[in-house]
Structure 1
Amino acid sequence: MNESSSSARPHLPLARAAAGVLLGLTQGFGLYLVSNNLSGIQGSLGATAAEASWLSTAYFASALWATLLVTKVRLHFGLRVFAMASLWLFLVVCALHLAADSLGSALAVRAALGLAAAPLSTLAIYYLMEALPQRLAPVALLLGFACLQVPGPLSRVISPELLELGRWHGLFVLDVALALLSLAAIHAVPLTPQPRQPAFNRGDLLAFPLYAVGLGLLCVVISQGRLAWWTDAPWLGQCLAASIVFMSLYALVDLNRVNPLVDLRWLASPYMVRFIIAVLLFRVVLSEQTVGVVGLMTVLGQSNEQMRGLFGFVSVGLLAGFLLAIVIAAKRGASPLAVLAGLMVLAAALMDSDATAVSRPEQFYASQTLLAVGLGLFFSASLLMGFGPVLQEGSRHLVTFLAAFSGAQVLGSLLGSAWVATAVAERQTWHYAALAQHLPIGDPQVALRIAQLGGSVARVVGDPAARALQGLSLLQQQVTRESFVLAYNDVFLSTAVLAAAMALWLAVLAWRGRRAAAPAAVAPAAASS
């Protein structure tokens, strides 16, 4: 940041920090307000649950490759043009949401928003990095990504009022308001101009469509497989095959270019392979919160209204995780953060694995807050450990790293959701069969229970035979609910096992890294003596 301009305008760092926070929240709410409220908006669009799920798929299918595109656009056309164009595009797309009243139009707008929202994360980080001194650049980086993550749980806290305000359109009143405020902020608080550099060449005209279509089809397969079911829908296999073909063609093109779209050879280095695997796996285990606990609470009849307190604690825990990461990284470095995060997820998953049919959000306050702190720690660790090698090499791999990091985050989230939903479906079927075989109709205790349940509707059902059928139906509902609870407990235990394995692996990597760094630290000291 320019020292003279700072002294002339002492309020400028604070204004830039506020603008960065605002931009991060704008991008985050644009994603999470819809993805966390699909059940609440499907009625507004006249869609089934499976059809409404395409709203999230459309967003992620475009957002998955948008980071690469917008990073190149920023480098090629300059920061100010990039900032103004991206905010206007985001504002227009948010406004179009207010006019979307059918599933088809909503899908088109959500896909456009996935592209329009991608630049806001870059702008948020730039503003926060300029708000702080250069020596605090890692702190600014972590705060920027914290602003992008907090709207996830926070959207569940504020969405009930927005849905009451205007159902589907009510969610986007906030988006439009935030977009207008963001547009005013970048007009009032400009960023320091950055040097431009050529970022596009003619080979990108072939490579980029192959890259975008391949990733988009992969996103469709992962997000829709658990709903259409993996082996029951032939079109899923066709999409997967097409994705493999497109990505193979893209790799064939890019590996033979002097200036590739993404440096695949650098991504294939051992360090980056380990980094990407770690990000993918950790995003999978963190689905215990976004899909596991939320799914369990939904089965038990809890809505966002009842879960507001839970996700209020989660929001606080997430912020605490990022702040704790800054303190630990300053004293111990980034490597202990990932191990500590894995241990926190392990503890949280074990705490959740004894849920019952009478569990309510209050029973998950401690575990999910702990899990949120773990998310903040791991996200911080992945950023610090990933950006380190990039900055050491002069940022020539910055575009590749951002594309890989954002892609691993999105794909990891989708894979986690798919894994949890698939595992719950399979385990629920198994538990239901196991419970049902121990409840024969001829058993006197079972017959007594059916009679008791039937008696609960005696005031409205006078026919004894009809009451018996109602009692049997209520018993089946109880068995189904219990089987779902047991299935989610199995998934939580599986998450704990995976988290334990990850914590052990990350601890071994951290230990090896310290051993490798020790001789390098001793050599300069010996030379100076």
Structure 2
Amino acid sequence: MSDPSPASVTPPPATPVEAYDIRHGIACALVSVLIGTTQSLGINMINSNLTAIQGSLGVTAAEIGWLTSAFWATYLSTSLLMTKFRLQYGLRLFTNIAISCFLAGTIILLFADDMRSAIFVRAMQGFAAACLSTLALLYMVESMPKKFALVGLVLGIGTLQLGAPLSRILPESLLEIGRWQGLNILDMSLAVIALGAINAIRLMPPPRQKVFCPGDIFAFVFYAISLGLMAIVLTQGRTVWWTDSEWLGIMLAISILCFGVYLHLDLHRSSPLLDLKWLFGPFMRRLLLTIVLFRLVLSEQTVGAVGLLNALGMNNDQMQILFVWILLSTVLGFIVAGLIIATGKLHIPGLVALLLVCLGAWLDSNSTSLTRPSELYFSQSLIAFGSSMYLSSAIALGFTKLMEGGMKNFPSFAAVFSGGQALATLAASAWLSTFVVDAQKLHFSELSQYLSLANPQVASRISQMAAGFSGTSSDRAAATSRALATLGQQANVEASVRAYNDTFEVIAAVAALTFLWLLIVNLMRNIENKKTLST
């Protein structure tokens, strides 16, 4: 029998393309929103109600801050460890560890009546939260057709931003029902639902890779200690004050030393924990800088707007509608950014976002002691919308660059983007809080120069206020003393408002300068690309 001619040879069948299951996609998207909300609420529920929890536990402001410190100390380094764990040991085991640790933490927290146990559980939740953030991203990516995976990544990041405004929308009556444990009842309920959803809707397991190498544990110890101590310094410094506590300086020195040891170890290994050479490349340096700047301008809401309204005597219940607007604007921002990124225009959302943030911060810089939440609806919505677009642009650009290299640096990218965002958040909040305190002291000092009884206007004002207080007391001296104290309080409030206005102006300036910098970088890149094409 003669061999068949080339023309008669039947070609091998093409590999079938797996059809997109829209029902599975919708289910994965809903699970992603559930996990992202559970994770971000777990982070922000405690942080947004520290003052109320402080009273419930009977501790000082400095002591309650350790709940935040413990959470971030474990969160910062866990993202790298668990990313590698997932790649080597599989998604199923990773998923069970993540949700089980988070659920166990919320249950234990229900019975925590002292600071030590609460700090331990918050550290445990920090570990679990880093794992849940990865799960939220993976579910949203799988919910999309493969050609829109980048859009899924952007929307997945969006689910992790929902908890911040939600934590301030939830009524403070939860605290009244079950003290501070009342907050965790909601989080525990979400975690239980998430556990069932994860087991009902399963992700496609990716192929396993060997990513752990000899010496990783030794290097990770120094890496984790460095980031953990840095988190403690950044969260405690503004409370106990930077120059008043010697132990802060000692912790900072140890943190820097440990990070130096880690760098020395990893730079002299053939298979480092992080690919430092890739991370120190021009593109990643720019991406890291944009992350830091993004978190700085986003602190306008958490430190600036909330701090201003708190200084004016308002609490979360009075800001609920404001944060409803912020939540809706955040969701809309990620949706719009996802639609733009789907067209391939990755730089546009970031540039537009910076202009919106600049405008919103500038509008807020005109606040007065009579400012109320309703007057911040528009400006804060602009900032929330812009911040969502800015973060979307950053993650899209970074992941596109990562895919160009074949995803070999995924653990390094995940660690830097997740841990870098968290560290930048802490640093930005610490710096802005310190700036507000210093500016408030400066403005109060300036105002105090005019609060002299030798000033006829001040003397007249004191007399009027004392006359008003004399109706409740026949002691003229006591009424005058009370009037002086009230005037001092009014001056302190005015100084705080001016300090926050200065902060808003700084953020507006940073956003404007960042816009100009990125615009110039993009223009130069376009010019270089045109020259390359012409040659």
The TM-score normalised by the length of structure 2 is 0.94
Measured after TM superposition, the shift of residue 23 of structure 1 is 0.9
Q: Are the equivalent residues in 1 in contact too, given 2:291–2:424 (CA < 8 A)?
A: yes
CA distance in 2, matches of 1:121, 1:363: 34
**Equivalent residues in 2 for 1:231-270 (5 A)?**
231-270=243-282
- Select which of 487, 493, 496 maps to 2:499: 487
CA distance in 1, matches of 2:276, 2:147: 31
For 1:155, give the aligned amino acid.
Answer: S
Q: Are the equivalent residues in 2 in contact too, given 1:32–1:152 (CA < 8 A)?
A: yes
Measured after TM superposition, the shift of residue 326 of structure 1 is 1.7
Measured after TM superposition, the shift of residue 410 of structure 1 is 1.0
**Equivalent residues in 2 for 1:110-125 (5 A)?**
110-125=122-137
CA distance in 1, matches of 2:25, 2:361: 41
For 1:437, give the aligned amino acid.
Answer: Q
Measured after TM superposition, the shift of residue 438 of structure 1 is 1.3
Measured after TM superposition, the shift of residue 14 of structure 1 is 1.8
Measured after TM superposition, the shift of residue 302 of structure 1 is 0.6
Would you say 1:420 and 2:440 are equivalent positions? no
Q: Are the equivalent residues in 1 in contact too, given 2:44–2:163 (CA < 8 A)?
A: yes
- Select which of 395, 400, 404 maps to 1:383: 395
Would you say 1:463 and 2:475 are equivalent positions? yes
Would you say 1:25 and 2:37 are equivalent positions? yes
* 1:208 alignment counterpart: 220
Measured after TM superposition, the shift of residue 226 of structure 1 is 1.5
- Select which of 265, 273, 298 maps to 2:310: 298
Percent same amino acid among aligned pairs?
42
**Equivalent residues in 2 for 1:71-90 (5 A)?**
71-90=83-102
CA distance in 1, matches of 2:475, 2:443: 33
* 1:183 alignment counterpart: 195
Q: Are the equivalent residues in 2 in contact too, given 1:33–1:159 (CA < 8 A)?
A: no
* 2:490 alignment counterpart: 478
* 2:422 alignment counterpart: 410
**Unmatched 5+ residue regions in structure 1?**
524-529
Measured after TM superposition, the shift of residue 162 of structure 1 is 2.1
SS in 1 for 2:180: helix
CA distance in 1, matches of 2:414, 2:254: 25
* 1:286 alignment counterpart: 298
* 1:145 alignment counterpart: 157
- Select which of 325, 330, 338 maps to 2:342: 330
1:431-490 alpha-carbon deviations (Å, 9 max, x no partner): 111111112112232122112222333332221110010011101000111111111111
CA distance in 1, matches of 2:533, 2:79: 37
1:85-115 alpha-carbon deviations (Å, 9 max, x no partner): 2111111111111011111111111011000
Q: Are the equivalent residues in 1 in contact too, given 2:151–2:342 (CA < 8 A)?
A: no
Measured after TM superposition, the shift of residue 40 of structure 1 is 1.6
Q: Are the equivalent residues in 2 in contact too, given 1:72–1:199 (CA < 8 A)?
A: yes
SS in 1 for 2:208: coil
Shift of the 179–36 alpha-carbon distance from structure 1 to 2, 3 Å rule, reads same
* 1:70 alignment counterpart: 82
Q: Are the equivalent residues in 1 in contact too, given 2:172–2:317 (CA < 8 A)?
A: yes
- Select which of 94, 104, 108 maps to 2:116: 104
SS in 2 for 1:242: helix
CA distance in 2, matches of 1:313, 1:319: 10
1:385-437 alpha-carbon deviations (Å, 9 max, x no partner): 11111111111011001111112211211111111111111111111111111
- Select which of 495, 500, 507 maps to 2:519: 507
Q: Are the equivalent residues in 2 in contact too, given 1:287–1:417 (CA < 8 A)?
A: yes
Q: Are the equivalent residues in 1 in contact too, given 2:151–2:341 (CA < 8 A)?
A: no
Would you say 1:167 and 2:179 are equivalent positions? yes
* 2:284 alignment counterpart: 272
1:339-372 alpha-carbon deviations (Å, 9 max, x no partner): 2111111111110011100101111100000000
CA RMSD in angstroms, aligned pairs only: 1.5
Q: Are the equivalent residues in 2 in contact too, given 1:159–1:171 (CA < 8 A)?
A: no
* 1:358 alignment counterpart: 370
Measured after TM superposition, the shift of residue 27 of structure 1 is 0.7
Measured after TM superposition, the shift of residue 5 of structure 1 is 8.0
**Unmatched 5+ residue regions in structure 2?**
1-15
- Select which of 439, 444, 465 maps to 1:453: 465
1:232-291 alpha-carbon deviations (Å, 9 max, x no partner): 211111111101110000011111111111111111111111110111122112111111
Would you say 1:219 and 2:200 are equivalent positions? no
Shift of the 332–263 alpha-carbon distance from structure 1 to 2, 3 Å rule, reads closer
- Select which of 377, 392, 395 maps to 2:407: 395
1:1-58 alpha-carbon deviations (Å, 9 max, x no partner): x976866xx6322222211111111111110101111112111111112211121111
For 2:475, give the aligned amino acid.
Answer: D
* 1:526 alignment counterpart: none
1:472-511 alpha-carbon deviations (Å, 9 max, x no partner): 1101000111111111111111111111111110111121
SS in 2 for 1:354: coil
* 2:168 alignment counterpart: 156
For 1:393, give the aligned amino acid.
Answer: G
CA distance in 1, matches of 2:481, 2:304: 33
Would you say 1:50 and 2:62 are equivalent positions? yes
CA distance in 2, matches of 1:354, 1:437: 23
Measured after TM superposition, the shift of residue 202 of structure 1 is 2.5
For 1:398, give the aligned amino acid.
Answer: F
Q: Are the equivalent residues in 2 in contact too, given 1:317–1:373 (CA < 8 A)?
A: yes
Q: How many residues align?
A: 520
CA distance in 1, matches of 2:143, 2:108: 33
Shift of the 521–290 alpha-carbon distance from structure 1 to 2, 3 Å rule, reads farther
Shift of the 398–434 alpha-carbon distance from structure 1 to 2, 3 Å rule, reads same
CA distance in 1, matches of 2:161, 2:532: 36
Q: Are the equivalent residues in 2 in contact too, given 1:46–1:103 (CA < 8 A)?
A: no
CA distance in 1, matches of 2:180, 2:132: 23
Greater radius of gyration (CA): 2
Shift of the 434–24 alpha-carbon distance from structure 1 to 2, 3 Å rule, reads same
SS in 1 for 2:494: helix
* 1:136 alignment counterpart: 148
